Chain A
């Protein structure tokens, strides 16, 4: 705005508090907004309401017990947390994971991606008023949760990976069910797209909202769909493959405009790519053991390592320092994608209207369990 004549009525800036109890902040997030009329001038993000001391807790647990705790960070995509952690320990100890276990881990991780994106779309849509999409997406998420329940017995906190492999082999008939689910999901995604992708109201609410440029995204340290939405191609599954990802063919969607609409389109496309990966994995599933040669007591040699994987929210990384003497890590540090992505909120929100704040928080896709640990 150039030098504007002074308005007739002096308006002060309003400070409004949003949260921590608020229907649309996706958890216990507190955002203190400074408004000029309807526009957000600045915001202050206050976190920590869900802090449970996970990193400290893990210093007093066995490496095997820690798998249970990692479930509770990004509780929407728990299997991915498990996967990241067990791979880090395997890297630290130099363990070899059997090929069958890698394939099954990939299938579980991709199913988890589908479930996480389904929940994301459900909450994002209902924040913007499309309440039917909420129920449709949860219907599909229920199917994934049923699959997980059949595999490992739990719906939300799976404990589905072990250091060196997997706890269980696939139940009989499970792969047929997964294939059936993939077929169903492909039709349902069409339903979501019909309702949203070309809907004029949806376009007006998401196009051009919350634009972040590529260089800015890299500077803030974004990862996952927010980073790829701004035109920066980085997907750990492609660039530093883990599990069995190097054996599969899949595309990684890239957005160019860096706005909310692009991040929406990317996640929709990731649904399709996940289905593609799952199908390839099921087709090529090798026989073999599901657990590698792992000592009874897991005591990594002294050393430290960092390993990251691509969770549905972005890059989730684990940094473990082992002192070689105890069965617990000396230091356990998580790099949660939601925490780093949330740093962008301040920049994204500036200049937008209050009604866009919920759309932006949803577009970044934060889970407070991860942010606060």
Chain B
């Protein structure tokens, strides 16, 4: 009962702030609403007993990635001029078509999941010898998902090197 209450109120906030992200006039406000959105998602993780994921969400997403978004926004100064709100290109047919497709997809997913048996994904195998949030995540990351983990770190390394090369004026 309490969980359901928590979930629905958090979900309402998450959706509300997500809408504010795309409708805010000022880009900096938009980014800030995104931060708040992420914080509520972290709260949702806590409700789901995934505390480790919650703090990582705050640390990495809200505290790292969005900070860099904010840097970029401020440095490039993307303040939309007021005329852009009446820009006819914003109501293009392509936009309508794409949003229509996405809406159809969402409806299809919702209908499909309603016909599925209740029950979540397969629970973690009992053979895992560790317990606790951090330990479970670590175990999965280094055994079942080892290759994706390494690939992801290589990707990040490539991104870092690319950023350094782009930013340096001479090498």
Please report A residues at the B interface, Cβ cutoff 8 Å: 1-2, 4-5, 7-8
Say if the beta carbon of B166 comes within 8 Å of chain A. yes
Q: How far, in whole Å, are A152 and B169 apart by their CA atoms in the complex?
A: 62
Cα(A5)–Cα(B169), bound, Å: 7
Name 7 extra pairs, CB < 8 A, besides A2-B170, A7-B169: A1-B169, A1-B170, A4-B169, A4-B170, A5-B169, A5-B170, A8-B166
Interface pairs (9), CB distance under 8 Å: A1-B169, A1-B170, A2-B170, A4-B169, A4-B170, A5-B169, A5-B170, A7-B169, A8-B166
Expressed in whole angstroms, the Cα–Cα distance for A2 and B166 within the complex equals 17
Residues of B in contact with A, size category: under 10
Taking beta carbons and an 8 Å cutoff, which residues of B are in contact with A? 166, 169-170
Residue of A nearest to B170 (CB): A4
Residues in A whose Cβ lies below 8 Å from that of B169: 1, 4-5, 7
Cβ distance A313 to chain B, nearest Cβ, rounded Å: 39
Residues of A within 8 A of B166 (CB): 8
CA separation between A346 and B166, bound complex, in Å? 32
Min CB gap B81→A, angstroms? 21
| Nearest neighbor of A4 in chain B, beta-carbon distance | B170
State A4–B169 Cα separation when bound (angstroms).
7
Chain A residue nearest in CB terms to B166: A8
Which 7 pairs from chain A and chain B are nearest by CB?
A4-B170, A4-B169, A7-B169, A1-B170, A8-B166, A2-B170, A5-B169
Contact partners of A1 in chain B: CB under 8 A: 169-170
Give the nearest-CB partner of B75 in chain A: A9
Closest B residue to A8 by CB, please name it: B166
Residue of A nearest to B76 (CB): A9
* Bound Cα distance A5, B166 (Å): 11
User: What's the least CB distance linking A9 to chain B, in Å?
Assistant: 9
B contact residues around A4 at 8 Å (CB): 169-170
Instruction: Tell me, rounded to whole Å, the shortest Cβ–Cβ distance linking B75 to chain A.
Output: 9
A253 to chain B, nearest CB (A): 39
CA of A150 to CA of B132 in the docked complex: distance in angstroms?
Answer: 79
Residues of B within 8 A of A8 (CB): 166
Q: What's the nearest-Cβ distance from chain A to residue B165, in Å?
A: 11
Q: How far is the CA of A1 from the CA of B169 in the complex (A)?
A: 10
Nearest-Cβ distance from residue B9 to partner chain A, whole angstroms:
44
Residues from chain A with a CB closer than 8 A to the CB of B170 are: 1-2, 4-5
Q: Bound state CA distance, A8 and B168, in angstroms?
A: 10
Compute how far the CA of A300 lies from the CA of B169 in the bound complex, rounded to whole angstroms: 66
Provide the bound-state CA to CA distance between A156 and B170, in Å: 53
B163 to chain A, nearest CB (A): 11
Q: Using Cβ atoms and an 8 Å threshold, which residues of chain B touch A5?
A: 169-170
How many angstroms from the CA of A8 to the CA of B165 in the assembled complex? 11
CA distance A8 to B169 in the complex (A): 9
Beta-carbon nearest neighbor of A7 in chain B: B169
